[in-house]
Amino acid sequence: MTTTIQSVHFWKWFSRNNSRYLQLCDLDTPETEYWLHELQLHLSCVNPHLTYEITVLSEHGFSLIITPDRNADLFSTARKLVASAPSLPHWSIGALRPPREIDFDFETRFGNSGIDPGKLRFKPYPEVPGGSKLESIAVYIPGYRSKHDDEYYPAVKAILENLVGEEILATVLGLVAISALDKWALELEDIFPIQQLPVYVGRMKSPYKVNKEGKIDRDKV
C-alpha cells in the first residue's frame, strides 16, 4: 500500500485534534461548526471527493467513517486512507458506510418525507437470471405521490444503504426506481418486504453474504 504525503498529514492532524471531536456535544454551535469544517477541509486535501461521518457508539466510543459518498471509483481511495490510520483511544475508524438499522438517522434527515421505512417493498430486476448484480430495483412506497420525488429518492436510497451498506448500494443494486405501493403493485410477482433485501442480496452469486446477525458481509472465502 502506498501512503501519500496528504494521508500522513491528515492522520497527524486528526491525531492531534481528535479529542475535539470526542467533545462535540459539549461545544457551542459556532465552535462545533468550525471543527466539522476543519475536518472536511483537511480530508479534502487528501481527495476533494471524500467526506466523513462521525457517530456515537457508546458513552466513550465514537466512529469515524471515511466515505466518497457512493462514488464507487473512489472506494479504494477511502480504504487506503483508512488502512493508514493510527490506532486512537475511543475511536473506531472505517471506510464506507456499513449496513445498519433500517431507520438509522432517518427521522433526523428525512422525518418530513412521510415515509415509514418498515412499510416499503421492493422488486429486484437482475441483469441476468442468477447473476451477481441487479439492473435495477423498484421500491414501492405507501401513499406515494410523484410530486414528492425530490424528497423520496434521497430518503429511499438512505434506507437501502442502511440495509445493505454503501458499497452494495453503489455496485450491486443498479438503478433505483420508486413507485406507489398500491393494489396493483401488491399483485406483482417477486415483490418483497424491504427488510428482506439483505437476505436477497446474500443469496445472489456475489461476494456478499448474510451473517448470523442478518447483516451483509463480504464473503471471506
Residue 86 grid cell: 493510527
Which residue(s) pair with 90 in the sheet? none
- C-alpha distances out from residue 112 to 15, 72, 107, 123, Å: 38, 29, 8, 25
Note down pLDDT in tens along the chain; length 221 residues: 445 899 999 999 999 999 999 998 888 999 999 999 999 999 999 999 999 999 988 777 899 999 999 999 999 999 999 999 999 999 999 999 999 999 999 999 999 999 999 999 999 999 888 788 999 999 999 999 988 899 999 999 999 999 999 999 999 999 999 999 999 999 999 999 999 999 999 888 556 666 766 666 765 43
Q: What is the pTM of this model?
A: 0.88
Give the domain ranges of the chain.
Answer: 5-95, 106-218
